[in-house]
Amino acid sequence: MATDAPYLAARGVSKSFFGNPVLRDVSIELYPGRIHALLGENGAGKSTLINLLSGAMPADRGTIEIDGNPVPRMSPAAAQAAGIAVVQQELSVTGSLSIAENIGLGSYPRRFGIIDYTELSARAGAAASLVGLHEPLSMPVGNLPLGRRQMVEIAKALYRKPRVLILDEPTSSLSASEARILTELLQKLKGEGVAILFISHRLPEVMALCQHVTILKDGVRTADRSIAGIDADGLVRLMVGRDPGDLFPHWTTARSRAKAIVIKGFSSGLIREADLEIKTGEVLGIGGLAGQGQEDLLLGLYGATPAETSAAEVNGNAGLPRSVSQANAMGIAYVPADRKREGLHISHPIITNLLLPGFARAAALRLRNRIKEGEIAKGLAAHFAIKGDLDRPAQALSGGNQQKVALAKWMPHQPQVLLLNDPTRGVDVETKREIYIMLRQFASDGKAVVLLSSDTPELVHLCDRVVVIREGRIVSELQRADLSEQAIVAAAVGAEPTVTAA
């Protein structure tokens, strides 16, 4: 199956950001007619490796080879010329351009220097129908929902008739039927001799589709082998470096009868008519496929997006908070998923990040006390094991430490309810463990913790209770005894029997 030279290879590449090594001496070889899986936890360096392979970033050390020849200055244009196409996790589409113009972007067919729209229509149409994209080609991509944009992104890669196709978590925002179309498509391309690199968190998908696997852990390659003769548990062990069970703390429930939040007929964003009780001392998990309204539930409770409800009670007060300040005053704190955009001021010092909620509620013109501020910040840093000089900008911290800052900044205000939006996304394993222990600690201190997570094992192993949201409605509530990944995924995808459970 594999010929002599790999179509595309990285040899001993390293890369670091702000002094944090993200990849260390990693090699990978992509052969034609093979689907190659790249596995690793969030933050293991997968996306960085893809950026190096596709020329979007230069490597600090090591070389990229095309057909066995080292390429000294790899760039996206060079990658395109060599037939390398990438489907990024972060979309590269332009909302104001049409589907066809997006698919052809960067390599339009031309006649007399002008884009040949007739030709573009034919070729882009062919690529679009390969991925089952039947919307009119003239429709602006901005009008499409996220899953369909992802299909445009894939069609864009196919349009270039690639020899090497790299897909970074292409299925995470796709529906089951879209994912099936993609799977069949990849099988077909493999038959045509395309070299495919496939990144996914859905292990059954990987086991079914791929022949070879490379695993990264904390920026180091821990495995590079045929997928035959290894099972899903074995893959997880290689990714995590330990048995999956060890990641989570052992705990006993601290749930009390007291209710922290009660909502009836709650609507906000995508959420429609939700009824929910959150008790003190519990960790309540929120699960479901991406983008079903989970985030709207948290933001609505936090007063950050407008919400309506027929009855609500928050820590003994009637009614929902109508602004963030009100929510804070009622004892609710929120930790966003996207640290760089929503959670932190990455260009500002760590210390001001840690103290910002305090500044937000202090009297506007009272003089600051730098000594006291320093003491508070030092205390928080010590408690959360945030190391180093607190005057550095927050962007100097690793993802895990940034997350700890985003969490720690609320602690001086003793919140009674913590709303956490995917707190372990892009966080290294050690920090994950620390965060898990903290979450259980919060619960046993009598706080209510609401944990929205895209990582199903988290929900299974940490929560007293999990509610699953589908299409804006709470479709299932699972108690600790009934919790399993199968049960959550089954509820998330609806009546459809589960294909994706691990």
Partner 1 sequence: MNSSTSAASFTRRASMVLRSRPFLTFATVLLVWAVASVMRPGFGAFGHLRYLVELASVIGLVAAGQTFVVIAGGIDLSIAAIVTVSAVSLPLLSIDADPTGLTAILATLVMTTFIGLGNGLGVAYLRVHPMIMTLAMATFLQGLLIIIAGGSAISSQNPLVAWLGNARPAGIPAGVFVWLGVSALVLLIMHATPLGTRIYAIGANPLASRLSGVPLQATTTVVYAISGFTAGLAGVLLLGMNGQGYVGIGDPYLLASIAAVVLGGTSILGGLGTYAGTMPGALLLVTITALITVVNASAGWRSILFGSLVLILLLLSGREKVRR
Partner 2 sequence: MSGATTPAEQAAPPLYWQVQRRRNGDLFGLFAVVVVFLAAYGFLFPGFFTLPGFAKFTQSWFPLALVAMAQAILMLTGGISLAIGAMVSLGAVIAATTMAGPLGVGGGTAVVALAGLGIGAATGLIVVKLRLPAIVVTLAGSFIVGGAALLILPRPGGAVPMWLSDMLAGNTPVAFLILVVIVVLWKIYLATPLGLAIYAAGENPVGAYRSGIRVDRVLVSAYAISGLLSACAGLFVAAQTGSGDPVIGTAFTLNSIAAAVLGGIGFLGGQGSMRGALAGSLLLSLMISVMFFLGFTPVAQYVAQGLIIIGAVAIPQFRRKR
Considering CB distances under 5 to 8 angstroms, the limit depending on partner class, which of partner 2, partner 1, none binds residue 365?
Answer: partner 1
Q: Which of 82, 89, 99, 19 is nearest to 51 (CA)?
A: 89
The answer to whether 252 touches 77, Cβ cutoff 8 Å, is no
Q: What angle do CA 118, 122, 123 make, to 5 degrees?
A: 115
In angstroms, give the least distance from the CB of 126 to partner 1: 34
Instruction: Kindly state the smallest distance separating residue 500's Cβ from partner 2, in Å.
Output: 28
Residue nearer to partner 2 on the CB measure, 139 or 356: 139
Q: Which residues contact 477 (CB under 8 A, 6 or more apart)?
A: 465, 466, 467, 468
Residue 126 contacts which entry, partner 2, partner 1, none (Cβ below 5-8 A, type-dependent): none
DSSP type of residue 393: B
Nearer to partner 2, 15 or 34 (CB): 15
80: partner contacted, choices partner 2, partner 1, none (Cβ within 5-8 A by kind): partner 2
Cβ closest to partner 2, residue 114 vs residue 481:
114
- Pick between residue 253 and residue 352 the one whose CB is nearest to partner 1: 352
Task: Name the residue nearer to partner 1 (CB basis): 99 or 406.
Answer: 406
Please choose which of partner 2, partner 1, none residue 262 contacts, taking the beta carbon within 5 to 8 angstroms, the exact cut-off set by kind. none
Q: 110 or 387, CB closer to partner 2?
A: 110
- Residue 363 interacts, among partner 2, partner 1, none and using kind-specific CB cut-offs from 5 to 8 Å, with partner 1
Amino acid letter for position 25: D
Q: How far is the CB of 340 from partner 2 (least distance, A)?
A: 14
Residue 362 CB, shortest distance to partner 1, in Å, is: 4
What does 86 interact with, of partner 1, partner 2, none (CB < 5 to 8 A by kind)? Answer: partner 2
Gap between the Cα atoms of 367 and 321, Å rounded: 29
Q: How far apart are CA 133 and CA 126, in angstroms?
A: 10
- Give min distance, CB of 122 to partner 2, in A: 9
Q: Using only C-alpha atoms, what is the Rg of the chain?
A: 24
Taking the complex as a whole, the smallest distance from the CB of residue 85 to partner 1 amounts, in Å, to: 24
List CB contacts of 364: < 8 A, sequence separation 6 or more. Answer: none
420 Cβ partners below 8 Å, 6+ apart?
Answer: 334, 335, 407, 439, 449, 450, 451, 452
Residue pair 80/104 in contact by the 8 Å Cβ criterion: no
Decide whether 15 or 123 has the Cβ nearer to partner 1.
Answer: 15
The binder of 336, among partner 2, partner 1, none, by C-beta within 5 to 8 A per type, is partner 1
Q: What is the 3-state secondary structure (H, E, C) of 456-502?
A: HHHHHHHCCEEEEEECCEEEEEEEHHHCCHHHHHHHHHCCCCCCCCC
Task: Find which of partner 2, partner 1, none residue 56 binds, CB within 5 to 8 Å per kind.
Answer: partner 2
Chain residues in the site for partner 1 (CB under 8 A) = 302, 304, 324-325, 327-328, 334, 336, 341-348, 352, 355-368, 409
Residue closer to partner 1, measured from CB, 286 or 487: 286
Quick one: 57 or 176, whose CB is closer to partner 2?
57
Report helix, strand and coil shares of the chain as percent, to nearest 5.
35, 25, 40
- Residue 413 contacts residue 358 (beta carbons within 8 Å): yes
Closest contact distance (angstroms) between CB of 466 and partner 1 is 24
E strands within 340-464? Answer: 417-421, 448-452
Are 72 and 55 contacting, i.e. CB atoms less than 8 angstroms apart? no
* Residue 65 to residue 9: CA distance in whole angstroms: 5
Site of interaction with partner 2 (CB under 8 A): 54, 56, 76-77, 79-80, 86, 88, 90-98, 100-101, 105-108, 110-118, 120-121, 136-140, 156
The CB-of-137 to partner 2 minimum distance in angstroms stands at 6
Q: Of partner 2, partner 1, none, which one does residue 435 interact with (CB within 5 to 8 Å by kind)? A: none
Strand partners of residue 299 = none
* Rounded least distance, CB 83 to partner 2, Å: 12
Least separation, in Å, of the C-beta of 386 and partner 2? 30
H or E element: which one contains 36?
Answer: strand 34-40
For partner 2, the closer of residues 93 and 469 by Cβ is: 93
Q: Which is nearer to partner 2, 77 or 362 (CB)?
A: 77
Nearest distance from C-beta of residue 358 to partner 1, angstroms: 8
Residue 414: CB minimum distance to partner 1, A? 14
Picked from partner 2, partner 1, none, the partner binding residue 54 (CB below 5 to 8 A depending on kind) is partner 2
Q: What tokens does 311 get?
A: 């009855």
Question: Which residues are bridge partners to 479 per DSSP?
Answer: 465
Residue 343 interacts with, from partner 2, partner 1, none (CB under 5-8 Å by kind): partner 1
Closer to partner 1 by Cβ: residue 125 or 349? 349
| 439: three-class secondary structure by DSSP | helix
Q: Supply 439's token pair.
A: 């979450």
381 contacts 298 by C-beta, under 8 angstroms? no
Q: How far is CA 454 from CA 69, 173, 451, in A?
A: 40, 11, 10
- Partner that binds at residue 230, options partner 1, partner 2, none, CB closer than 5 to 8 Å by kind: none
